[in-house]
Structure 1
Amino acid sequence: MDLEKIRRDYALGSLQRAQLSDSPHRQFELWLQQAIEADLNADPTAMTLATVNQQGVPSQRVVLLKGHDEDGLRFFTSKGSRKGQELALNRKVSAHFSWLPLERQVEVKGEVSPLTEQQNDAYFKSRPKASQVGALVSHQSQPIDSRKQLDEEFTRLMEHYADTEVPRPEQWGGYLIRPTEFEFWQGGRNRLHDRFVYTLAENGWQVQRLQP
């Protein structure tokens, strides 16, 4: 493969300061809604979450956004997973949304705080039973000898909880990302992309255009 020859120009639109909301939360909500309505054939709520371990080594994985308002962005996971352990050591995170068919990206930086047990229970109960059992089966990020072990345990627990409520695993729960920075990226011709960063200051959100 000659990867150097794979390229395309970005020409769907541009982004000007006058088009932006003064609130990054409202701007994010607008772009998210447009990504959902565009039916991108991909999950528009998927975000790449970056965390850092005790040695300063970063890791990334895709999680799903399950809520957003002026307080921040919410997602759920196993707190015993690698990401959960890293968040216990360092609450600073970066989340990235890639809506490339729209030639758009959004990066959010901030700190996480755990959601309440009531919030965890409410969302867990809203999940399909198979997803609930899957969370109970998997000790996320831990080694396992074979896929067969997972499948057999899943089948066993699906039968066990066929007529009863699935208990939420103690280590399963959610986080709120409280943003301190948003960056909105719109692809532009000749690689002259439009980038605007919102930074949280004492007197509110400050907006600055960045060079591409």
Structure 2
Amino acid sequence: MTPEAKTTLPSMRVSYEAGALDETFLADTWHEQLQLWFDEAVGAELPEPNAMVLATADADGMPSSRTVLCKGFDERGLVLFTNYTSAKSHDLSATRVAAATFPWYAMQRQVNVRGEVEKVRSDETAEYWAQRPRGSQLGAWASPQSRVVTGRPALQSALTGIERRFADAEKVPVPPHWGGWRIRPDVVEFWQGRPDRLHDRLRFRREGESFTVERLAP
């Protein structure tokens, strides 16, 4: 780190004054509140508003995180799709828990979701798969996700082979190693930046079959 960076980083700060989050105006359920904020993120034309940082840990407790795309949410939870042989899927299979955060920086907001995970039904996977561009479908067949490869040419070669394999197929089938995961929330926290770092943090926490709402200190 350069001397200039050491000097700059401690002084970097933004006063969050874009909004507030009050219990009075909170939706009745976490997924309705998430829908409200998601719609506002889309309306604000944020880049990739459905992007979320997915955090997992392996069987030894080693954590990792990466940005993925949320492809659906409802009262059951948040859904993402991936290769079932990927590093993230190995983590999810081992621990059966995950956390995800929507980082809507431009709106001075974030939403954090934590809970157990489950694989989505095959018919749900097939429904989403049919909506994917053909190139993305072929890429899912070609990529040995998270594995070491010799270089970019190896990936291109694999893709070329898959393109030939399905050249005469009107529809590309779902790979047996590919599908969806659902995070079933136990906790959903809505965070709104406020001045003087006294941020608004309202949390939906599962209690049995329902959720209770709590305010957390910033």
Task: Calculate the TM-score normalised by the size of structure 2.
Answer: 0.93
The answer on 1:181 being equivalent to 2:187 is yes
Alpha-carbon offset, residue 119 of structure 1: 1.5
Match of 2:210 among 198, 204, 211: 204
Picking from 54, 57, 77, the partner of 1:49 is 54
The answer to whether the Cα contact below 8 Å between 2:19 and 2:193 also exists between their aligned partners in 1 is yes
CA contact (8 A) 1:82 1:141 kept: yes
Asked if 1 retains the 8 angstrom alpha-carbon contact of 2:206 and 2:212, the reply is: yes
Instruction: Give the corresponding residue for 1:38.
Output: 44
The structure 2 residue matched to 1:167, chosen from 148, 166, 173, is: 173
Give CA-to-partner distance per residue, 1:133-186, whole Å, 9 cap, x none: 100010110000101111122233224423312232111000111111100000
Q: How many residues align?
A: 211
Which is worse superposed, 59-68 or 114-123? 114-123
Query: What aligned pairs does 1:1-212 form with structure 2 within 5 A after superposition?
Result: 1=5, 2-40=8-46, 42-164=47-169, 165-202=171-208, 204-212=210-218
Which whole-Å CA distance do the structure 2 matches of 1:87 and 1:142 have between them?
17
| Matched AA of 1:173 | G
Give the superposition deviation at 1:203. 6.0
Confirm or deny: 8 A CA contact 1:93 1:111 kept in the other structure: yes
| Greater displacement, 117-126 / 90-99 | 117-126
- Cα distance in 2 between the residues matched to 1:188 and 1:89: 38
The amino acid that maps onto 1:155 is T
Q: How far apart, CA to CA, are the structure 2 residues paired with 1:23 and 1:107?
A: 15
CA contact (8 A) 2:204 2:212 kept: yes
CA contact (8 A) 1:64 1:75 kept: yes
Task: Give the distance between the partners of 1:72 and 1:92, measured in 2 at CA.
Answer: 13
CA spacing shift, 1:203–1:121, aligned 2, 3 Å: closer
Distance 2:173 2:208 in 1: 43
Give me the whole-angstrom Cα distance separating, in 2, the residues matched to 1:22 and 1:142.
43
The 8 Å contact of residues 10 and 103 in structure 1, kept in 2 or not, is answered as yes
Aligned AA (1:206): T
Moved over 2 A (4+): 155-163
Per-residue CA deviations over 1:83-133 (Å, capped at 9, x if unaligned) read 111111111111110001000000001111111111212211211110001
Partner SS for 1:62: strand
- The percentage of counterpart residues that share the same residue type is 41
CA–CA separation in structure 2 for the residues paired with 1:156 and 1:82: 24
